[in-house]
Amino acid sequence: MSAKHLLALAAQDAFRPTSRFDVLAGDHVPFDELTGRDRYERLLINRVTGPEGVSLIFGATGSGKTSLISWACHHLPESHVALRVPVAALEDPGDVKVLAGTMIVAAVRATADLTDEQRTDLSATAADRVSTRPAGALVSGARLGGAMIPAALTLDLGALHQEYEREDLPVDRLHGLDRLVSVFVAREKHLVLVLEDTDAMAGGPGEQAERFLAAVLVLARELDAPMIVAVQEHHRGAMYDRLRQEGREIAIPLLSEAGHALRRIVSHRLHRAELDGVAVEEVIDDQAVTALVSVYDESGGNLRQILAVLQFALDHAVDEQAELLTFPHIRHGIQVARPTG
């Protein structure tokens, strides 16, 4: 291994953790692969493409809930479209009316980023509702949660958007949300509702999480659409237990073979950085991996913290013009990444 390879990794911030949902799908190494069991990503996809219901992705902050969800959403079949519903920005995510309205807004805004050329194309298609495209043709740029939206469905969402702007949709009675689901069903698409940014409620009162989960329970019962919900460890309570009875819990595992898993994660980051010919052993030595395993265990399986430690260690190694990540570099990364206060 030469210093230029570490420099290339550092230049790309190869290990820096991200919260960008669209990027996480590519960064994620499936837990199915890390554990050798189809109990996580594959189970989630099977769940949301089967009978309607709610899938609860349970785990600690930083354990990989959002990246698992992102990976699964980007591997859904063409018949399913994932809609991310922002929760963090809501003043009261436990208000069913607010949550339902947010779902509608998130969907109809999918048409807001279309280019003028795409809008012209859609207008021409709308003139007679007959498209010259093959059946199921897609309009580039119109996306929900990473999945492409057919032209006809984009038109329907545009009409729904106009109704919402005119306040013609009775969102307070959930009819508007039923209409949203029916728009997808009419176009032979299945809507998958995704609520994954629930870390925002980490510092809030316990009753806030209870109200949020109660709202999720109401929507799960009312809607003929599967839901994916990320749930923090401290959100577990009476309402969570009720919700779990009507859905399926997928708990993020604490990796028993952490050393092997962390090497696999490093290998994947090398691939993402287009350094496929470089072996993991040429990037990080065994003592450094052992130190990372200790961080993983002590943090309760916080992969986000592992990545932060690796990035700080990498930057330090580059400053030293080192050719390999060693224990002193990881120790430095631990000191910098350690939460304070």
Rounded Cα–Cα distance for residues 313 and 325 (Å):
7
CA 238 to mean position of chain CA atoms: 26
Task: Give the torsion sign (CA, 302, 307, 308, 312).
Answer: positive
**Which CATH code, of 3.40.50, 3.30.70, 3.40.30, 2.60.120, is assigned to 40-251?**
3.40.50
261: pLDDT strictly greater than 80: yes
pLDDT in tens, 4-43: 889 999 999 999 999 899 899 999 999 999 999 999 999 9
Domain edges within the chain = 3-19+255-337, 40-251
Rounded Cα–Cα distance for residues 138 and 135 (Å):
9
User: 85-92 long-range CB contacts below 8 Å, 24 or more apart?
Assistant: 85/193, 85/194, 85/195, 86/197, 87/195, 87/196, 87/197, 87/198, 87/200, 87/201, 87/212, 88/197, 88/198, 88/199, 88/200, 92/211
160: pLDDT strictly greater than 80: no
CATH code given to domain 3-19+255-337? 1.10.8
Q: Would you report the helix, strand and coil content of the chain in percent, each value rounded to 5?
A: 55, 10, 35
Alpha helices for 151-225 (secondary structure H): 151-165, 175-186, 206-222
Position 124 confidence tier, pLDDT thresholds 50, 70, 90: very low
105: pLDDT strictly greater than 70: yes
Position 132 confidence tier, pLDDT thresholds 50, 70, 90: very low
